[in-house]
Amino acid sequence: MKKTLLLLSMLSLADAEDLKMQIYKPVTSSCPASWVSDVELTIAKPEITSLTDVKSLKSSIGIPRELYSCNTSILGDYVFEGNVPPAAIKKFMNEKPAGAIGLSLPASQNDEAVKKVYIMYGDKTYKLYGTY
């Protein structure tokens, strides 16, 4: 799993000085333009790649099935599943919690007024990270 994250991290860096977020999405889906714009303004320049089999990527990274969402993003050594609010990503990147591989906003939370964001660990466990 760490090899997969390392490879994806390397692919997401076009220029060593500019951290980029690589967003992988199904070919049949599109990321909400407002979320992509928020990411670009507050986190990093996103690059979007359409894949025919995003579920295999999610599985190889170690994202628990219950936390799957529309897209999977890589930023540095971390994964962000779904349209994780930029405020949660910024907090996570500042803290870099031990053993964590990233955050998820599961598909079930997309239409909720208050969204539950979960922190994911390398052993496929997860817990509530915060509400946004």
User: Which tens digits make up the pLDDT trace of 46-68?
Assistant: 999 999 999 999 999 999 999 99
Residue 12, pLDDT above cutoff 90: no
Buried b (16+ CB within 10 A) or exposed e, 77-98: ebbbbbbbbbebbebbbeeeee
Instruction: Report whether pLDDT(72) > 50.
Output: yes
Which whole number is the average pLDDT over 92-104?
Answer: 97
What is the CA angle 129-41-97, rounded to 5?
A: 25
